[in-house]
Chain A
Protein backbone atom coordinates (compact mmCIF):
# COMPACT_ATOMS: atom_id res chain seq x y z
CA UNK A 1 0.00 0.00 0.00
CA UNK A 2 2.77 2.40 0.90
CA UNK A 3 4.27 1.70 -2.53
CA UNK A 4 1.24 3.41 -4.08
CA UNK A 5 1.91 6.53 -2.05
CA UNK A 6 5.58 6.38 -3.07
CA UNK A 7 4.44 6.50 -6.71
CA UNK A 8 2.38 9.60 -6.01
CA UNK A 9 5.27 11.13 -4.07
CA UNK A 10 7.75 10.52 -6.90
CA UNK A 11 5.26 11.88 -9.39
CA UNK A 12 4.82 15.01 -7.28
CA UNK A 13 8.58 15.44 -6.99
CA UNK A 14 8.99 15.05 -10.75
CA UNK A 15 6.27 17.56 -11.55
CA UNK A 16 8.08 20.09 -9.40
CA UNK A 17 11.56 19.28 -10.69
CA UNK A 18 10.81 18.96 -14.38
CA UNK A 19 9.61 22.52 -15.09
CA UNK A 20 12.35 23.89 -12.86
CA UNK A 21 14.94 21.90 -14.81
CA UNK A 22 13.50 22.96 -18.15
CA UNK A 23 13.40 26.63 -17.21
CA UNK A 24 16.84 26.45 -15.58
CA UNK A 25 18.41 24.78 -18.58
CA UNK A 26 16.88 27.36 -20.91
CA UNK A 27 18.19 30.14 -18.70
CA UNK A 28 21.72 28.66 -18.86
CA UNK A 29 21.94 28.14 -22.61
CA UNK A 30 19.92 31.09 -23.97
CA UNK A 31 21.63 34.32 -25.16
CA UNK A 32 21.10 37.21 -22.76
CA UNK A 33 20.68 40.50 -24.65
CA UNK A 34 19.01 43.44 -22.90
CA UNK A 35 15.21 43.28 -23.41
CA UNK A 36 14.04 45.82 -25.98
CA UNK A 37 10.58 47.17 -26.62
CA UNK A 38 9.62 44.42 -29.03
CA UNK A 39 10.67 41.79 -26.50
CA UNK A 40 8.44 43.24 -23.78
CA UNK A 41 5.18 43.21 -25.76
CA UNK A 42 2.52 40.72 -24.69
CA UNK A 43 2.75 38.63 -27.86
CA UNK A 44 6.22 38.99 -29.23
CA UNK A 45 5.44 37.35 -32.57
CA UNK A 46 1.67 37.79 -32.67
CA UNK A 47 -0.78 40.57 -33.45
CA UNK A 48 -0.32 43.69 -31.33
CA UNK A 49 -3.01 44.07 -28.68
CA UNK A 50 -5.43 46.98 -28.97
CA UNK A 51 -6.46 48.88 -25.84
CA UNK A 52 -6.39 47.61 -22.29
CA UNK A 53 -7.22 44.06 -21.28
CA UNK A 54 -9.33 45.12 -18.28
CA UNK A 55 -12.48 46.26 -20.03
CA UNK A 56 -16.07 46.06 -18.95
CA UNK A 57 -18.23 43.69 -20.85
CA UNK A 58 -21.90 43.00 -20.67
CA UNK A 59 -23.37 40.88 -17.93
CA UNK A 60 -25.62 39.42 -20.66
CA UNK A 61 -22.73 37.16 -21.65
CA UNK A 62 -23.10 35.38 -18.32
CA UNK A 63 -26.87 35.19 -18.57
CA UNK A 64 -26.59 33.56 -21.99
CA UNK A 65 -23.98 31.20 -20.64
CA UNK A 66 -26.21 30.23 -17.71
CA UNK A 67 -29.25 29.57 -19.86
CA UNK A 68 -27.09 27.61 -22.29
CA UNK A 69 -25.63 25.57 -19.42
CA UNK A 70 -29.05 24.62 -18.09
CA UNK A 71 -30.09 23.18 -21.43
CA UNK A 72 -26.72 21.58 -22.00
CA UNK A 73 -27.12 19.64 -18.78
CA UNK A 74 -30.67 18.78 -19.76
CA UNK A 75 -29.40 16.96 -22.82
CA UNK A 76 -27.01 14.94 -20.70
CA UNK A 77 -29.92 13.85 -18.54
CA UNK A 78 -32.21 13.13 -21.46
CA UNK A 79 -29.70 11.05 -23.37
CA UNK A 80 -29.42 7.98 -21.08
CA UNK A 81 -33.16 8.06 -20.52
CA UNK A 82 -33.82 8.11 -24.26
CA UNK A 83 -31.47 5.16 -24.80
CA UNK A 84 -33.27 3.01 -22.22
CA UNK A 85 -36.72 4.45 -22.93
CA UNK A 86 -38.55 1.13 -23.33
CA UNK A 87 -37.02 -0.49 -20.26
CA UNK A 88 -37.68 2.46 -17.98
CA UNK A 89 -41.35 2.74 -18.79
CA UNK A 90 -44.07 5.19 -17.93
CA UNK A 91 -42.74 6.25 -14.53
CA UNK A 92 -39.50 7.55 -15.98
CA UNK A 93 -41.43 9.25 -18.78
CA UNK A 94 -43.52 11.22 -16.29
CA UNK A 95 -40.35 11.96 -14.30
CA UNK A 96 -38.75 13.40 -17.42
CA UNK A 97 -41.81 15.53 -18.17
CA UNK A 98 -41.62 16.96 -14.65
CA UNK A 99 -37.92 17.61 -15.13
CA UNK A 100 -38.48 19.41 -18.42
CA UNK A 101 -41.37 21.39 -16.92
CA UNK A 102 -39.07 22.63 -14.17
CA UNK A 103 -36.46 23.64 -16.75
CA UNK A 104 -39.06 25.38 -18.88
CA UNK A 105 -40.23 27.37 -15.87
CA UNK A 106 -36.67 28.53 -15.49
CA UNK A 107 -36.47 29.46 -19.16
CA UNK A 108 -39.77 31.30 -18.93
CA UNK A 109 -38.49 33.26 -15.99
CA UNK A 110 -35.19 34.10 -17.67
CA UNK A 111 -36.99 35.12 -20.88
CA UNK A 112 -39.51 37.32 -19.16
CA UNK A 113 -36.81 38.98 -17.06
CA UNK A 114 -35.00 39.85 -20.27
CA UNK A 115 -32.06 37.49 -20.05
CA UNK A 116 -32.36 36.72 -23.77
CA UNK A 117 -32.52 40.34 -24.88
CA UNK A 118 -29.49 42.19 -25.99
CA UNK A 119 -29.43 45.77 -25.01
Chain B
Protein backbone atom coordinates (compact mmCIF):
# COMPACT_ATOMS: atom_id res chain seq x y z
CA UNK B 1 0.00 0.00 0.00
CA UNK B 2 1.23 3.42 -0.91
CA UNK B 3 0.78 5.35 2.30
CA UNK B 4 2.10 8.56 0.78
CA UNK B 5 -1.35 8.99 -0.74
CA UNK B 6 -2.60 9.65 2.77
CA UNK B 7 -0.26 12.64 3.04
CA UNK B 8 -3.03 15.28 2.90
CA UNK B 9 -4.84 13.81 5.90
CA UNK B 10 -1.64 13.18 7.85
CA UNK B 11 -0.34 16.68 7.13
CA UNK B 12 -3.58 18.35 8.18
CA UNK B 13 -3.79 16.32 11.40
CA UNK B 14 -0.16 16.94 12.31
CA UNK B 15 -0.46 20.66 11.70
CA UNK B 16 -3.67 20.77 13.75
CA UNK B 17 -1.80 19.24 16.71
CA UNK B 18 1.24 21.44 16.15
CA UNK B 19 -0.92 24.54 16.17
CA UNK B 20 -2.54 23.42 19.41
CA UNK B 21 0.87 22.91 21.02
CA UNK B 22 2.28 26.21 19.72
CA UNK B 23 -0.73 27.95 21.16
CA UNK B 24 -0.05 26.30 24.53
CA UNK B 25 3.60 27.25 24.63
CA UNK B 26 3.54 30.75 23.18
CA UNK B 27 0.00 31.77 24.15
CA UNK B 28 -1.14 34.89 22.37
CA UNK B 29 2.24 35.68 20.83
CA UNK B 30 1.82 32.74 18.46
CA UNK B 31 -1.40 34.04 16.97
CA UNK B 32 0.03 35.38 13.70
CA UNK B 33 2.45 32.56 13.00
CA UNK B 34 -0.13 29.94 13.92
CA UNK B 35 -2.54 31.40 11.38
CA UNK B 36 0.13 31.44 8.69
CA UNK B 37 1.16 27.85 9.45
CA UNK B 38 -2.42 26.59 9.15
CA UNK B 39 -2.96 28.56 5.98
CA UNK B 40 0.24 27.30 4.34
CA UNK B 41 -0.46 23.71 5.30
CA UNK B 42 -3.95 23.91 3.83
CA UNK B 43 -2.50 25.31 0.61
CA UNK B 44 -0.02 22.44 0.68
CA UNK B 45 -2.90 19.98 1.10
CA UNK B 46 -4.63 21.58 -1.87
CA UNK B 47 -1.53 21.31 -4.04
CA UNK B 48 -0.84 17.72 -2.95
CA UNK B 49 -4.37 16.68 -3.80
CA UNK B 50 -4.37 18.40 -7.18
CA UNK B 51 -0.95 17.06 -8.17
CA UNK B 52 -1.94 13.49 -7.37
CA UNK B 53 -5.53 13.84 -8.48
CA UNK B 54 -5.70 10.67 -10.57
CA UNK B 55 -3.67 8.42 -8.23
CA UNK B 56 -5.98 5.86 -6.72
CA UNK B 57 -5.53 3.35 -3.96
CA UNK B 58 -7.78 1.21 -1.79
CA UNK B 59 -6.59 0.98 1.80
CA UNK B 60 -7.34 -1.63 4.47
CA UNK B 61 -9.66 -3.89 2.43
CA UNK B 62 -11.86 -1.08 1.20
CA UNK B 63 -12.25 0.83 4.47
CA UNK B 64 -10.48 3.85 3.06
CA UNK B 65 -10.40 4.83 -0.59
CA UNK B 66 -8.28 7.43 -2.28
CA UNK B 67 -9.81 8.05 -5.69
CA UNK B 68 -10.59 10.94 -8.02
CA UNK B 69 -13.96 11.47 -6.38
CA UNK B 70 -12.46 11.77 -2.90
CA UNK B 71 -9.66 13.98 -4.23
CA UNK B 72 -12.13 16.37 -5.81
CA UNK B 73 -13.85 16.85 -2.47
CA UNK B 74 -10.57 17.10 -0.57
CA UNK B 75 -9.53 19.93 -2.87
CA UNK B 76 -12.89 21.55 -2.22
CA UNK B 77 -12.53 21.33 1.58
CA UNK B 78 -8.96 22.66 1.55
CA UNK B 79 -10.00 25.52 -0.70
CA UNK B 80 -12.99 26.37 1.48
CA UNK B 81 -10.83 26.22 4.62
CA UNK B 82 -8.24 28.55 3.06
CA UNK B 83 -10.92 31.08 2.11
CA UNK B 84 -12.56 30.86 5.53
CA UNK B 85 -9.28 31.35 7.37
CA UNK B 86 -8.38 34.32 5.17
CA UNK B 87 -11.80 35.74 5.82
CA UNK B 88 -11.64 35.12 9.57
CA UNK B 89 -8.76 37.61 9.84
CA UNK B 90 -11.46 40.27 10.18
CA UNK B 91 -13.06 38.43 13.04
CA UNK B 92 -10.01 37.59 15.13
CA UNK B 93 -10.41 40.34 17.72
CA UNK B 94 -13.70 38.85 18.80
CA UNK B 95 -12.16 35.48 19.58
CA UNK B 96 -10.49 36.81 22.73
CA UNK B 97 -7.56 34.78 23.98
CA UNK B 98 -8.53 31.58 22.21
CA UNK B 99 -7.05 32.21 18.79
CA UNK B 100 -4.75 29.29 18.15
CA UNK B 101 -7.48 26.82 19.10
CA UNK B 102 -9.59 28.32 16.36
CA UNK B 103 -7.04 27.31 13.75
CA UNK B 104 -6.53 23.89 15.31
CA UNK B 105 -10.27 23.22 15.28
CA UNK B 106 -10.51 24.40 11.68
CA UNK B 107 -7.80 21.88 10.76
CA UNK B 108 -9.54 19.07 12.63
CA UNK B 109 -12.87 19.87 11.01
CA UNK B 110 -11.17 19.77 7.62
CA UNK B 111 -9.60 16.39 8.41
CA UNK B 112 -13.03 15.08 9.40
CA UNK B 113 -14.46 16.19 6.08
CA UNK B 114 -11.60 14.63 4.16
CA UNK B 115 -12.16 11.33 5.97
CA UNK B 116 -15.86 11.49 5.10
CA UNK B 117 -15.08 11.97 1.42
CA UNK B 118 -12.56 9.13 1.34
CA UNK B 119 -14.20 6.61 3.65
CA UNK B 120 -15.30 3.40 2.00
CA UNK B 121 -16.87 2.03 5.15
CA UNK B 122 -19.96 3.11 7.05
CA UNK B 123 -18.20 3.37 10.40
CA UNK B 124 -15.27 5.32 8.98
CA UNK B 125 -17.77 7.75 7.50
CA UNK B 126 -19.34 8.06 10.93
CA UNK B 127 -15.99 8.74 12.59
CA UNK B 128 -15.16 11.41 10.02
CA UNK B 129 -18.58 12.90 10.52
CA UNK B 130 -18.16 13.07 14.29
CA UNK B 131 -14.69 14.60 14.04
CA UNK B 132 -16.13 17.28 11.80
CA UNK B 133 -19.27 17.94 13.83
CA UNK B 134 -17.60 17.95 17.23
CA UNK B 135 -15.15 20.55 15.94
CA UNK B 136 -18.10 22.53 14.67
CA UNK B 137 -19.93 22.33 18.02
CA UNK B 138 -17.02 24.15 19.60
CA UNK B 139 -16.48 26.59 16.74
CA UNK B 140 -20.17 27.53 16.69
CA UNK B 141 -20.05 28.53 20.36
CA UNK B 142 -16.75 30.33 19.91
CA UNK B 143 -17.90 33.84 20.83
CA UNK B 144 -17.85 33.32 24.58
CA UNK B 145 -19.43 36.65 25.51
CA UNK B 146 -22.14 36.38 22.87
CA UNK B 147 -25.30 34.69 24.12
CA UNK B 148 -26.65 33.81 20.67
CA UNK B 149 -23.37 32.08 19.84
CA UNK B 150 -23.52 29.90 22.96
CA UNK B 151 -27.17 29.17 22.30
CA UNK B 152 -26.35 28.17 18.73
CA UNK B 153 -23.58 25.89 19.98
CA UNK B 154 -25.85 24.13 22.45
CA UNK B 155 -28.64 23.72 19.90
CA UNK B 156 -26.22 22.33 17.37
CA UNK B 157 -24.83 19.90 19.96
CA UNK B 158 -28.24 18.51 20.88
CA UNK B 159 -29.66 18.33 17.37
CA UNK B 160 -26.38 17.04 15.99
CA UNK B 161 -26.36 14.25 18.56
CA UNK B 162 -29.91 13.27 17.61
CA UNK B 163 -29.11 13.21 13.91
CA UNK B 164 -25.98 11.15 14.56
CA UNK B 165 -28.10 8.65 16.47
CA UNK B 166 -30.59 8.44 13.60
CA UNK B 167 -27.79 7.96 11.10
CA UNK B 168 -26.11 5.30 13.20
CA UNK B 169 -29.38 3.42 13.65
CA UNK B 170 -29.84 3.40 9.88
CA UNK B 171 -26.31 2.14 9.39
CA UNK B 172 -26.81 -0.59 11.97
CA UNK B 173 -29.93 -1.82 10.15
CA UNK B 174 -28.04 -1.95 6.85
CA UNK B 175 -25.20 -3.75 8.61
CA UNK B 176 -27.63 -6.23 10.17
CA UNK B 177 -28.99 -7.12 6.73
CA UNK B 178 -25.72 -7.23 4.81
CA UNK B 179 -23.24 -8.40 7.43
CA UNK B 180 -20.63 -5.88 6.28
CA UNK B 181 -19.92 -2.20 6.71
CA UNK B 182 -17.73 -1.89 3.61
CA UNK B 183 -19.80 0.13 1.17
CA UNK B 184 -18.84 -1.66 -2.03
CA UNK B 185 -19.65 -5.06 -0.52
CA UNK B 186 -23.08 -4.13 0.81
CA UNK B 187 -24.82 -4.06 -2.58
CA UNK B 188 -24.26 -7.77 -3.19
CA UNK B 189 -25.52 -8.83 0.24
CA UNK B 190 -28.87 -7.11 0.58
CA UNK B 191 -32.31 -7.98 -0.69
CA UNK B 192 -35.47 -5.97 -0.84
CA UNK B 193 -37.21 -6.05 2.52
CA UNK B 194 -38.87 -3.67 4.99
CA UNK B 195 -35.87 -3.34 7.32
CA UNK B 196 -33.69 -2.27 4.40
CA UNK B 197 -36.13 0.47 3.49
CA UNK B 198 -36.16 1.65 7.11
CA UNK B 199 -32.36 1.61 7.20
CA UNK B 200 -31.95 3.55 3.97
CA UNK B 201 -34.53 6.13 5.00
CA UNK B 202 -32.85 6.59 8.39
CA UNK B 203 -29.47 7.07 6.71
CA UNK B 204 -31.02 9.58 4.32
CA UNK B 205 -32.60 11.40 7.27
CA UNK B 206 -29.31 11.50 9.16
CA UNK B 207 -27.51 13.07 6.24
CA UNK B 208 -30.45 15.34 5.47
CA UNK B 209 -29.85 16.83 8.94
CA UNK B 210 -26.23 17.53 8.05
CA UNK B 211 -27.02 19.10 4.69
CA UNK B 212 -30.01 20.93 6.17
CA UNK B 213 -32.65 19.56 3.80
CA UNK B 214 -36.32 20.18 4.60
CA UNK B 215 -37.92 18.77 6.79
CA UNK B 216 -34.67 18.37 8.76
CA UNK B 217 -33.60 21.99 8.39
CA UNK B 218 -34.98 23.59 11.58
CA UNK B 219 -31.57 23.86 13.22
CA UNK B 220 -29.87 25.67 10.37
CA UNK B 221 -31.15 29.28 10.54
CA UNK B 222 -30.59 29.73 14.28
CA UNK B 223 -27.16 28.17 14.20
CA UNK B 224 -26.06 29.95 11.04
CA UNK B 225 -27.12 33.24 12.56
CA UNK B 226 -25.61 32.67 15.99
CA UNK B 227 -22.25 31.24 14.92
CA UNK B 228 -19.29 33.52 14.12
CA UNK B 229 -19.73 34.45 10.45
CA UNK B 230 -16.58 32.70 9.12
CA UNK B 231 -17.75 29.51 10.85
CA UNK B 232 -21.21 29.93 9.35
CA UNK B 233 -19.48 30.04 5.98
CA UNK B 234 -17.58 26.86 6.64
CA UNK B 235 -20.70 25.14 8.00
CA UNK B 236 -22.71 26.11 4.94
CA UNK B 237 -20.00 25.27 2.45
CA UNK B 238 -17.77 22.55 3.90
CA UNK B 239 -20.02 20.59 6.21
CA UNK B 240 -22.71 20.46 3.56
CA UNK B 241 -20.34 19.30 0.81
CA UNK B 242 -18.96 16.62 3.14
CA UNK B 243 -22.51 15.38 3.79
CA UNK B 244 -23.14 15.18 0.06
CA UNK B 245 -19.83 13.42 -0.56
CA UNK B 246 -20.64 10.62 1.88
CA UNK B 247 -24.31 10.40 0.93
CA UNK B 248 -23.46 10.02 -2.75
CA UNK B 249 -20.91 7.29 -2.14
CA UNK B 250 -23.21 5.28 0.13
CA UNK B 251 -26.28 5.49 -2.07
CA UNK B 252 -24.67 4.90 -5.45
CA UNK B 253 -22.41 2.05 -4.37
CA UNK B 254 -24.29 0.35 -1.55
CA UNK B 255 -27.97 0.62 -2.36
CA UNK B 256 -28.88 -0.46 -5.90
CA UNK B 257 -31.90 1.40 -7.26
CA UNK B 258 -33.52 -1.93 -8.05
CA UNK B 259 -33.61 -2.81 -4.34
CA UNK B 260 -35.08 0.44 -3.18
CA UNK B 261 -35.97 3.51 -5.21
CA UNK B 262 -34.12 6.06 -3.06
CA UNK B 263 -34.01 8.35 -6.06
CA UNK B 264 -37.69 9.21 -5.63
CA UNK B 265 -37.22 9.83 -1.89
CA UNK B 266 -34.37 12.24 -2.60
CA UNK B 267 -36.36 13.92 -5.38
CA UNK B 268 -39.21 14.64 -2.96
CA UNK B 269 -36.73 15.91 -0.34
CA UNK B 270 -35.12 18.12 -3.00
CA UNK B 271 -38.46 19.59 -4.09
CA UNK B 272 -39.51 20.31 -0.50
CA UNK B 273 -36.13 21.84 0.29
CA UNK B 274 -36.16 24.14 -2.71
CA UNK B 275 -39.71 25.34 -2.08
CA UNK B 276 -39.50 25.86 1.68
CA UNK B 277 -35.96 27.30 1.69
CA UNK B 278 -36.72 29.87 -0.98
CA UNK B 279 -40.14 30.87 0.30
CA UNK B 280 -38.94 31.49 3.87
CA UNK B 281 -35.87 33.36 2.60
CA UNK B 282 -38.24 35.81 0.91
CA UNK B 283 -39.37 37.29 4.22
CA UNK B 284 -35.96 37.61 5.93
CA UNK B 285 -34.62 41.07 6.70
CA UNK B 286 -31.34 39.91 8.24
CA UNK B 287 -28.81 39.12 5.54
CA UNK B 288 -27.07 36.39 7.54
CA UNK B 289 -30.39 34.66 8.16
CA UNK B 290 -31.41 35.17 4.54
CA UNK B 291 -28.17 33.50 3.45
CA UNK B 292 -28.92 30.64 5.86
CA UNK B 293 -32.29 29.99 4.23
CA UNK B 294 -30.74 30.46 0.82
CA UNK B 295 -28.16 27.81 1.67
CA UNK B 296 -31.02 25.46 2.58
CA UNK B 297 -32.49 26.13 -0.87
CA UNK B 298 -29.09 25.54 -2.49
CA UNK B 299 -28.92 22.13 -0.80
CA UNK B 300 -32.22 21.42 -2.53
CA UNK B 301 -30.73 22.15 -5.96
CA UNK B 302 -27.78 19.87 -5.26
CA UNK B 303 -30.11 17.11 -4.00
CA UNK B 304 -31.98 17.31 -7.32
CA UNK B 305 -28.77 16.29 -9.09
CA UNK B 306 -28.23 13.48 -6.61
CA UNK B 307 -31.80 12.25 -7.12
CA UNK B 308 -31.19 12.12 -10.86
CA UNK B 309 -28.16 9.86 -10.19
CA UNK B 310 -27.05 9.98 -13.83
CA UNK B 311 -23.93 11.40 -15.41
CA UNK B 312 -25.25 14.95 -15.76
CA UNK B 313 -26.78 15.00 -12.31
CA UNK B 314 -23.70 13.70 -10.48
CA UNK B 315 -21.41 15.98 -12.42
CA UNK B 316 -23.75 18.79 -11.48
CA UNK B 317 -23.52 17.87 -7.78
CA UNK B 318 -19.73 18.16 -7.79
CA UNK B 319 -19.68 21.18 -10.06
CA UNK B 320 -22.26 23.01 -7.99
CA UNK B 321 -20.65 22.10 -4.67
CA UNK B 322 -17.40 23.65 -5.88
CA UNK B 323 -18.82 26.87 -7.32
CA UNK B 324 -21.01 27.16 -4.23
CA UNK B 325 -17.78 27.42 -2.21
CA UNK B 326 -16.78 30.55 -4.10
CA UNK B 327 -20.17 32.21 -4.39
CA UNK B 328 -21.29 31.56 -0.84
CA UNK B 329 -17.95 32.38 0.74
CA UNK B 330 -17.87 35.63 -1.20
CA UNK B 331 -21.33 36.61 0.01
CA UNK B 332 -20.53 35.67 3.60
CA UNK B 333 -17.18 37.48 3.45
CA UNK B 334 -18.97 40.71 2.56
CA UNK B 335 -21.50 40.06 5.33
CA UNK B 336 -18.56 39.58 7.72
CA UNK B 337 -17.00 42.87 6.66
CA UNK B 338 -20.29 44.70 7.16
CA UNK B 339 -20.86 43.00 10.50
CA UNK B 340 -17.41 43.90 11.78
CA UNK B 341 -17.74 47.52 10.62
CA UNK B 342 -21.33 48.26 11.60
CA UNK B 343 -22.04 45.61 14.23
CA UNK B 344 -25.12 44.39 12.42
CA UNK B 345 -26.09 42.15 9.52
CA UNK B 346 -29.56 43.60 9.00
CA UNK B 347 -30.31 44.53 5.43
CA UNK B 348 -30.36 48.20 6.45
CA UNK B 349 -26.69 47.97 7.37
CA UNK B 350 -25.98 47.24 3.69
CA UNK B 351 -27.63 50.48 2.57
CA UNK B 352 -25.50 52.53 0.22
CA UNK B 353 -22.66 50.02 0.39
CA UNK B 354 -22.23 50.63 -3.34
CA UNK B 355 -21.06 54.18 -2.58
CA UNK B 356 -19.20 53.37 0.61
CA UNK B 357 -17.22 50.35 -0.58
CA UNK B 358 -17.80 49.62 -4.27
CA UNK B 359 -15.61 46.52 -4.15
CA UNK B 360 -17.61 44.87 -1.36
CA UNK B 361 -20.88 45.70 -3.09
CA UNK B 362 -19.60 44.32 -6.39
CA UNK B 363 -18.50 41.02 -4.83
CA UNK B 364 -21.81 40.69 -3.00
CA UNK B 365 -23.83 41.37 -6.15
CA UNK B 366 -21.84 38.98 -8.34
CA UNK B 367 -21.97 36.21 -5.72
CA UNK B 368 -25.70 36.63 -5.09
CA UNK B 369 -26.42 36.61 -8.83
CA UNK B 370 -24.37 33.44 -9.08
CA UNK B 371 -26.40 31.86 -6.26
CA UNK B 372 -29.57 32.88 -8.09
CA UNK B 373 -28.28 31.32 -11.33
CA UNK B 374 -28.12 34.33 -13.62
CA UNK B 375 -26.25 33.39 -16.86
CA UNK B 376 -22.78 34.89 -16.95
CA UNK B 377 -22.06 33.70 -13.37
CA UNK B 378 -21.00 30.24 -12.30
CA UNK B 379 -24.34 29.38 -10.70
CA UNK B 380 -26.06 29.22 -14.07
CA UNK B 381 -23.74 26.55 -15.44
CA UNK B 382 -24.16 24.52 -12.24
CA UNK B 383 -27.93 24.67 -12.30
CA UNK B 384 -27.87 23.80 -15.98
CA UNK B 385 -26.09 20.51 -15.22
CA UNK B 386 -28.27 19.72 -12.21
CA UNK B 387 -31.59 20.31 -13.91
CA UNK B 388 -30.52 18.66 -17.20
CA UNK B 389 -29.68 15.62 -15.13
CA UNK B 390 -33.08 15.72 -13.45
CA UNK B 391 -34.88 15.98 -16.80
CA UNK B 392 -32.84 13.13 -18.26
CA UNK B 393 -33.77 10.95 -15.30
CA UNK B 394 -37.44 11.69 -15.92
CA UNK B 395 -37.97 14.20 -13.13
CA UNK B 396 -39.41 16.94 -15.32
CA UNK B 397 -41.51 18.23 -12.42
CA UNK B 398 -38.43 18.52 -10.22
CA UNK B 399 -36.56 20.59 -12.81
CA UNK B 400 -39.65 22.74 -13.22
CA UNK B 401 -39.88 23.40 -9.47
CA UNK B 402 -36.17 24.15 -9.44
CA UNK B 403 -36.45 26.72 -12.21
CA UNK B 404 -39.50 28.33 -10.68
CA UNK B 405 -37.83 28.60 -7.28
CA UNK B 406 -34.63 29.99 -8.82
CA UNK B 407 -36.74 32.75 -10.32
CA UNK B 408 -38.33 33.48 -6.95
CA UNK B 409 -34.89 33.52 -5.32
CA UNK B 410 -33.77 36.35 -7.62
CA UNK B 411 -36.18 38.61 -5.75
CA UNK B 412 -34.64 38.28 -2.31
CA UNK B 413 -31.09 38.26 -3.62
CA UNK B 414 -31.74 41.47 -5.53
CA UNK B 415 -33.31 43.10 -2.47
CA UNK B 416 -29.80 43.15 -1.00
CA UNK B 417 -28.39 44.56 -4.24
CA UNK B 418 -31.11 47.20 -4.20
CA UNK B 419 -30.22 48.19 -0.64
CA UNK B 420 -26.55 48.42 -1.59
CA UNK B 421 -27.01 50.59 -4.66
CA UNK B 422 -30.24 52.54 -4.15
CA UNK B 423 -30.60 52.62 -0.36
CA UNK B 424 -29.43 55.67 1.52
CA UNK B 425 -27.37 55.60 4.66
CA UNK B 426 -26.54 58.45 7.07
CA UNK B 427 -23.13 56.90 7.60
CA UNK B 428 -20.55 57.34 4.88
CA UNK B 429 -16.94 56.37 4.43
CA UNK B 430 -15.37 53.15 3.23
CA UNK B 431 -15.44 50.02 5.35
CA UNK B 432 -12.13 48.67 6.53
CA UNK B 433 -11.30 45.26 5.15
CA UNK B 434 -8.11 43.48 6.23
CA UNK B 435 -5.71 42.44 3.48
CA UNK B 436 -6.19 38.63 3.82
CA UNK B 437 -9.95 39.06 3.66
CA UNK B 438 -9.54 41.24 0.59
CA UNK B 439 -7.57 38.44 -1.05
CA UNK B 440 -10.40 36.02 -0.28
CA UNK B 441 -12.90 38.45 -1.79
CA UNK B 442 -10.89 38.70 -5.00
CA UNK B 443 -10.53 34.93 -5.29
CA UNK B 444 -14.28 34.44 -4.83
CA UNK B 445 -15.12 37.16 -7.31
CA UNK B 446 -12.74 35.98 -10.04
CA UNK B 447 -13.56 32.29 -9.60
CA UNK B 448 -17.30 32.94 -9.71
CA UNK B 449 -16.98 34.81 -12.99
CA UNK B 450 -14.32 32.51 -14.48
CA UNK B 451 -16.28 29.31 -13.83
CA UNK B 452 -19.37 30.96 -15.29
CA UNK B 453 -17.65 32.13 -18.46
CA UNK B 454 -15.55 29.02 -18.98
CA UNK B 455 -17.21 26.10 -17.18
CA UNK B 456 -15.38 23.42 -19.17
CA UNK B 457 -12.38 23.51 -16.85
CA UNK B 458 -14.24 22.62 -13.68
CA UNK B 459 -16.67 20.46 -15.59
CA UNK B 460 -13.91 18.23 -16.96
CA UNK B 461 -12.51 17.93 -13.49
CA UNK B 462 -15.89 16.92 -12.09
CA UNK B 463 -16.28 14.46 -14.97
CA UNK B 464 -13.03 12.72 -14.03
CA UNK B 465 -14.11 12.68 -10.41
CA UNK B 466 -17.43 10.92 -11.02
CA UNK B 467 -15.90 8.41 -13.45
CA UNK B 468 -15.66 5.97 -10.51
CA UNK B 469 -19.46 5.70 -10.47
CA UNK B 470 -20.01 5.17 -14.18
Chain A positions within 8 Å of B, measured between CB atoms, are 1, 5, 102, 105, 108-109, 112
Q: How far is the CA of A109 from the CA of B194 in the complex (A)?
A: 48
Contacts of A102 in B (CB 8 A): 17
A63, chain B: closest CB distance, angstroms: 14
Pair B24/A112 contact, Cβ less than 8 Å: yes
**Interchain Cβ contacts under 8 Å between A and B, 13 examples:** A1-B193, A5-B194, A5-B195, A102-B17, A105-B17, A105-B20, A105-B21, A108-B21, A108-B24, A109-B20, A109-B21, A109-B24, A112-B24
B86, chain A: closest CB distance, angstroms: 26
Q: Decide if the interface of chain A is mainly helix, strand, loop or mixed.
A: helix
Contacts of B17 in A (CB 8 A): 102, 105
A20, chain B: closest CB distance, angstroms: 25
Contacts of A5 in B (CB 8 A): 194-195
Number of chain B residues close to chain A: CB under 8 A: 7
Mark contacts of B194-212 with chain A using CB atoms, 8 A cut-off: 1 yes-contact digit, 0 otherwise: 1100000000000000000
Q: How far is the CA of A109 from the CA of B24 in the complex (A)?
A: 7
Which residues of B in the span 2-25 have a Cβ within 8 Å of any Cβ on A? Answer: 17, 20-21, 24
A90, chain B: closest CB distance, angstroms: 15
Q: How far is the CA of A26 from the CA of B193 in the complex (A)?
A: 41
Q: How far is the CA of A109 from the CA of B16 in the complex (A)?
A: 13
Contacts of B193 in A (CB 8 A): 1
Contacts of B195 in A (CB 8 A): 5
Chain B positions within 8 Å of A, measured between CB atoms, are 17, 20-21, 24, 193-195
B118, chain A: closest CB distance, angstroms: 19
Closest A residue by C-beta to B17? A105
B60, chain A: closest CB distance, angstroms: 12
Closest A residue by C-beta to B194? A5
Q: How far is the CA of A105 from the CA of B24 in the complex (A)?
A: 10
Closest A residue by C-beta to B10? A98
Q: How far is the CA of A68 from the CA of B11 in the complex (A)?
A: 28
Contacts of A109 in B (CB 8 A): 20-21, 24
Q: How far is the CA of A1 from the CA of B24 in the complex (A)?
A: 59
Contacts of A1 in B (CB 8 A): 193
Closest A residue by C-beta to B104? A109
10 extra interface residue pairs, beta carbon distance < 8 Å, beyond A5-B195, A102-B17, A108-B21: A1-B193, A5-B194, A105-B17, A105-B20, A105-B21, A108-B24, A109-B20, A109-B21, A109-B24, A112-B24
Contacts of B20 in A (CB 8 A): 105, 109
Contacts of A105 in B (CB 8 A): 17, 20-21
Q: How far is the CA of A112 from the CA of B193 in the complex (A)?
A: 54
A82, chain B: closest CB distance, angstroms: 21
Closest A residue by C-beta to B13? A102
Closest B residue by C-beta to A5? B194
B195, chain A: closest CB distance, angstroms: 8
Q: How far is the CA of A57 from the CA of B146 in the complex (A)?
A: 22
User: Top 10 closest A-B pairs, CB basis?
Assistant: A112-B24, A105-B17, A109-B20, A109-B24, A1-B193, A5-B194, A105-B21, A105-B20, A102-B17, A108-B24
Contacts of B24 in A (CB 8 A): 108-109, 112
Q: How far is the CA of A112 from the CA of B21 in the complex (A)?
A: 10
B122, chain A: closest CB distance, angstroms: 20
Contacts of B194 in A (CB 8 A): 5
A73, chain B: closest CB distance, angstroms: 12
Q: How far is the CA of A17 from the CA of B194 in the complex (A)?
A: 24
A69, chain B: closest CB distance, angstroms: 13
Closest B residue by C-beta to A1? B193
Q: How far is the CA of A5 from the CA of B177 in the complex (A)?
A: 13
A66, chain B: closest CB distance, angstroms: 11
Contacts of A112 in B (CB 8 A): 24
A116, chain B: closest CB distance, angstroms: 14
Q: How far is the CA of A69 from the CA of B21 in the complex (A)?
A: 21
Q: How far is the CA of A102 from the CA of B193 in the complex (A)?
A: 44
Closest A residue by C-beta to B20? A109
B129, chain A: closest CB distance, angstroms: 18
